[in-house]
């Protein structure tokens, strides 16, 4: 039997994705053996997370002020706008180093089974944004899943007129999430994007 306070930590760590009970134990013992300051730094980082992070008012990416780092970066190309499902997809696309435009995070995909329609996603704010900013090209970079495709189709159909709309090329394995694609595959998919 482990002390209750250690068991609580193991249980919490075990809820993280990809962390089984063994790994959770190893992490907990590592934290226990580490200097107290290090353990406290970890606790502090976890504790302050929800308070310090919010959604970017323009693109819904993660931000620590009203606008995210990408929206505030004057070097980004406002003529290119990539529409993604989640902030993690931005991380994946940024890792390719091949995209210098701006983003819009939908916050999910259209999925009638889960009760998620266009109104539950950041689609209205996307169209409002497009009406004002008029980028030359909108790249729909939803995942290569049935829902991702359906969402892309919906966006393309309802897109305000006179915007060129492209979709990432199919170098991406079917059913796969952008965040798990390697940089080269994702980079190629970005290069090979096609018009609808
Ligand atoms: Zn932003």
Neighbours of 174 (CB within 10 A): 10
The structure's pTM equals 0.79
Distance 65 CA to ligand 1 centre (A): 10
Distance 184 CA to ligand 1 centre (A): 25
Distance 62 CA to ligand 1 centre (A): 7
- Quote the mean pLDDT of the chain: 91
Distance 19 CA to ligand 1 centre (A): 31
pLDDT in tens, 22-41: 999 999 999 999 999 999 99
Distance 103 CA to ligand 1 centre (A): 7
Lowest mean pLDDT among 30-44, 61-75, 86-100, 168-182: 168-182
Distance 82 CA to ligand 1 centre (A): 12
The residue with greater pLDDT, 57 or 144, is: 57
What is the DSSP secondary-structure string of 98-158? ---EEEEE-SS--BGGGTB-GGGTTTHHHHHHHHHH--SEEEE---BSHHHHHHHHHHHHH
DSSP code for 84: E
How many secondary structure helices (H) and strands (E) does the chain include? 8, 7
Judged by phi (left if over 0) then psi (alpha if -120 to 50, else beta), residue 103 lies in beta
Distance 116 CA to ligand 1 centre (A): 23
Distance 57 CA to ligand 1 centre (A): 7
Judged by phi (left if over 0) then psi (alpha if -120 to 50, else beta), residue 97 lies in left
Question: Residue 179 and residue 172: Cα distance in Å, rounded?
Answer: 11
Residue 182 pLDDT: 75
Distance 63 CA to ligand 1 centre (A): 7
Question: Residue 111 and residue 126: Cα distance in Å, rounded?
Answer: 18
Distance 78 CA to ligand 1 centre (A): 12
Distance 45 CA to ligand 1 centre (A): 22
pLDDT band with cut points at 50, 70 and 90 for residue 106? very high
Question: Residue 113 and residue 56: Cα distance in Å, rounded?
Answer: 28
pLDDT in tens, 142-185: 988 889 999 999 999 998 878 899 988 766 666 777 777 777 77
Distance 105 CA to ligand 1 centre (A): 9
pLDDT band with cut points at 50, 70 and 90 for residue 69? very high
Distance 58 CA to ligand 1 centre (A): 5
Distance 113 CA to ligand 1 centre (A): 29
């Amino acid at each position: 039997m482990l002390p209750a306070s250690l068991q609580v930590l193991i249980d919490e760590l075990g809820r993280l994705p990809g962390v089984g009970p063994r790994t959770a134990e190893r992490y907990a013992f590592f934290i226990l053996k580490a200097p107290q300051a290090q353990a406290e730094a970890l606790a502090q980082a976890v504790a302050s997370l929800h308070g310090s992070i919010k959604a970017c008012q323009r693109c819904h990416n993660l931000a620590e002020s009203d606008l995210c780092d990408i929206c505030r970066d004057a070097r980004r190309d406002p003529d290119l706008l990539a529409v993604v499902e989640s902030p993690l997809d931005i991380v994946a696309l940024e890792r390719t180093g091949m995209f210098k435009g701006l983003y819009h995070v939908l916050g999910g995909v259209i999925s009638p089974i889960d009760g998620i329609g266009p109104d539950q996603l950041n689609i209205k704010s996307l169209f409002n944004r497009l009406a004002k900013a008029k980028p030359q090209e909108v790249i729909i970079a939803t995942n290569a899943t049935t829902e991702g495709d359906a969402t892309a189709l919906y966006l393309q159909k309802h897109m305000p007129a006179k915007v060129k709309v492209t979709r990432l090329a199919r170098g991406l394995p079917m059913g796969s999430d952008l965040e798990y694609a390697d940089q080269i595959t994702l980079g190629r998919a970005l290069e090979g994007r096609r018009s609808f």
